[in-house]
Chains A and B, each alone.
Chain A
Amino acid sequence: MAEIQIKNVAKTFGSYQALHSIDMTISDREFMVLLGASGCGKTTLLRIIAGLETPSVGEVWIGDKRVDHLPPRQRGIAMVFQNYAVFPHLTVFENIAFGLRMNKLDDATIKERVNRTANLMHIEQLLQRYSGQLSGGQRQRVAVARALAMEPDVILMDEPLSNLDALLRLEMRAELKGVLADSNTTTIYVTHDQVEAMSLADRIAVMHEGRIVQANNPVEIYRNPAAHFVGSFIGNPPMNFLNATKGGKGKWNVAGKSFSGPQSGQENLEFAIRPEDVTLNGGGLDAKVRIVEPLGAHNLVTCDVDGSLFRAVIDSDSKVKAGEHISLAPMQDRIRWFDPQTTLAVA
């Protein structure tokens, strides 16, 4: 049982505030991804949970034990580092056995666990090699095996796939998901790669400037961003945003067209729609096509709508060309609204 609770955790480095009062609960066996651009505080938060940084204020609980004053080795965690940190002076076997030896397990148990995790990660033929004789992908497997061999309550992963090439990353991603699902551990996984986050996570916590902007399951994060930032960060290409002015009775004027939206007292809102949630039907937004990028499965069309950049994903059979005017009709149930002052979603 390893539920992780972060209570009001903040961290300052000198005068720089890296984290602003983070509150989060990660349930037992959940796969939680901390997602954000570099400098958003996601790695700092992970390192605070690991015990490699101390929080300036706040509490960290793992299971029913408060751990923020404990050294990392007393927290029941294992970690996979961005640069793997596979010890160069030890063989693969000894690397995987490192934590087990530190915990003074007997040789038979160590051998059994090392062999089992090595098999799991398909590196059983490399056990006598040194790190310097391995490829990046193999080192990555050793780092994961070393963490799994601990049979920890919690595994922390700090951008573990970011140093692999694209094809290997795809392969390892799927493998990690399978292996971790079988291991019954609570996982916290830090990444800046939204595809990685979406594909792995039970729940994603999107972080921005030291705060958690939204924490929810991947589909919810994608469909219903809680804030402008989430919509503009998640999705490739990201959401389109247009200015909306009040038209009365729940009607809003967007680029000369009227849409029904929230009953809000405000004069202005932000209208948002995902590029794939528009259709090439008449009566929609008037768009001047700037660039057409055929991507095989579909065409990505970059347009100008009411002076703003607007991207649409349309069928690759369409004959739309740059310079043309087209009509893009948003799907009504996919339209989202944001408050331009608070940047938060308005229902």
Chain B
Amino acid sequence: MENKHLPYMLLLPATIFLCVFFIYPFTLVAWEAFSKDGAFTMEHFQTMTSNWKFEISFWNTLLLAAAVVPIQLALSLLMATMVSKMQKGRDIVLYIWTIPLGISDLAAGIIWLAIFDQSGYLNSMLYGLGVIDQPENFLSYQNKSTIFIAIVLAEIWRATAIMLVILVAGIGLIPKEYYEAAEVFGASNWKRFTKITLPMLKPSLQTALVLRVILAFEVFAVVAALGGTNFPVLMGETYNWQFELQDGNVAAAYALVILAISIVFTLVILRVLRVPKGAQV
């Protein structure tokens, strides 16, 4: 009797927690997005899509993710491989590389603002070296591409380490014997990376990419600090509608769009990086 119920009893706290703090608010938000005066409507979605900023912020968000995530993937793979090959001091290097993770994203945005600002470090340095005659406003609305580059740099600096730590753990789990076998059977360093490391790292790559891509769609504070209103993104618009325009319904619609994109990309990543049945380690 007791044995039969025990698993459910153990699951209960987490289930209650998820229902109260996730399912319930999610239902409220969904209802808010789809209802007006207690009736179903698509009106808020129409308001959202008819606003000129929706399309821009949608493509900006995707573009940013498309620029940041591949670079971060390549960088974190490179860094993880390097760390895994280190004999001494690997922990120290790992700690240093993960420092940006401990900084809030708004603070990270402000750090990079201090670099790219009109009176920032970059301008001071270029002026001091005589490269420019007067300070340049890199982040003005005329310089959309430099804003984009600044945001990409800040995001890479801030959030590559989250993938790095997952991949370092994943690489550590691959038995050394597979590399030795590959080496004996003729695989060069690069082949060992593509034929052994990458395929055996799939589960970790899945986790790292899903986590990173979802976070990329929620990008907000770094963009707000560096781009302000010159580079609208979905999360920034959500904030705008909720707090500036005081329209919670449209904000809820935005939130659902972000959720939908996240789900779609998660499914794509899980599908692409799936491990065939039987090939699990």
List chain A positions with a Cβ less than 8 A from chain B. Answer: 50-52, 71-73, 77-79, 81, 83, 85, 87-90, 98-99, 102-103, 129-133, 146, 150
- Count residues of B near A (Cβ-Cβ below 8 Å): 24
Q: Write out, one digit per residue, whether chain B residues 185-220 have a CB within 8 A of any chain A CB (1) or not (0).
A: 111100100011001101000000000000000000
Contact indicator per residue, chain B 247-281, by CB within 8 Å of chain A (1) or not (0) = 00000000000000000000000000001101111
Residue of B nearest to A75 (CB): B184
In the assembled complex, how far is the CB of residue A92 from the closest CB belonging to chain B, in whole angstroms? 11
**Smallest Cβ distance from B246 to chain A, in angstroms?**
53
Contacts of B181 in A (CB 8 A): 79, 81, 85, 87
- Residue pair B187, A102 in contact (C-beta under 8 Å): yes
| Bound CA span A102–B195, Å | 10
B40 at the interface (CB under 8 A from A): no
> 9 extra interchain contacts, Cβ-Cβ under 8 A, other than A52-B184, A88-B280, A98-B185?
A50-B184, A72-B184, A73-B183, A73-B187, A89-B199, A89-B279, A89-B281, A99-B185, A132-B281
Assess the A103–B281 pair: CB atoms within 8 A. Answer: no
Chain B residues with CB under 8 Å of A73's CB are: 183-188
Q: Assess whether B196 is in contact with A87, with CB atoms less than 8 Å apart.
A: yes
For this complex, 27 residue pairs linking A to B, each with C-beta atoms less than 8 Å apart, are: A51-B183, A51-B184, A52-B180, A52-B183, A52-B184, A72-B180, A73-B184, A73-B185, A73-B188, A77-B184, A78-B184, A79-B181, A85-B175, A85-B178, A85-B181, A87-B181, A89-B279, A90-B199, A98-B182, A99-B185, A99-B186, A102-B186, A130-B278, A132-B279, A132-B280, A146-B185, A150-B185
Residue B2 CB within 8 A of the other chain: no
Specify which chain B residues have a CB less than 8 angstroms from the CB of A50 in the assembled complex. 184
- What are the residues of chain A within 8 A of B276 when measuring CB–CB? 130
Is there an interface contact between A83 and B278, defined as CB atoms closer than 8 Å?
A: no
Most chain A CB inside 10 Å of its own CB: which residue of B182, B186, B278: B186
Q: Does B37 contact A (CB under 8 A)?
A: no
- Does chain A have a CB within 8 A of B133? no
A103 to B184: give the CA distance in the assembly, Å.
12
- Are B187 and A81 in contact, with the CB atoms below 8 A? no
Q: Which residues of A contact B187 (CB under 8 A)?
A: 73, 98, 102
Tell me, yes or no, whether B177 is within 8 Å of chain A by CB. yes
Q: Which residue of A lies closest to B186 (CB)?
A: A102
List of B residues within 8 angstroms of A77 by Cβ: 184
Task: Flag if A103 contacts B280 (CB, 8 Å).
Answer: no
B226 → chain A closest CB, angstroms? 41
| Known pairs A72-B184, A132-B278, A132-B279; A83 contacts B177 (CB<8 A) | yes
Specify the chain B residue showing the minimal Cβ separation from A150. B185
Q: Looking at the assembled complex, report how far the CB atom of A96 sits from the nearest CB atom of chain B, in whole angstroms.
A: 10
The complex places the Cα of A132 from the Cα of B196 at a distance, in Å, of 16
Q: Which residue of A lies closest to B277 (CB)?
A: A130
Please name all residues of chain A whose beta carbon is closer than 8 Å to the beta carbon of B199 when the two chains form the complex.
89-90
Chain B residues with Cβ under 8 A from A99's Cβ? Answer: 185-186
A51 neighbours in B (Cβ, 8 Å): 183-184
Q: Do A85 and B200 have beta carbons less than 8 Å apart?
A: no
Determine the distance from Cα of A130 to Cα of B278 in the docked complex, in whole angstroms. Answer: 6
Q: Are A130 and B185 in contact (CB under 8 A)?
A: no
Chain B residues 208-239 with CB under 8 Å of chain A are: none
Distance A262 CA – B64 CA, assembled complex (angstroms):
89
Which residues of A are found within 8 Å of B177, using beta-carbon distances?
81, 83, 85
Chain B residue numbers with a CB within 8 Å of A146 are 185
B185 in contact with A78 (CB, 8 Å): yes
Cα–Cα distance between A81 and B181 once the two chains are bound (Å): 8
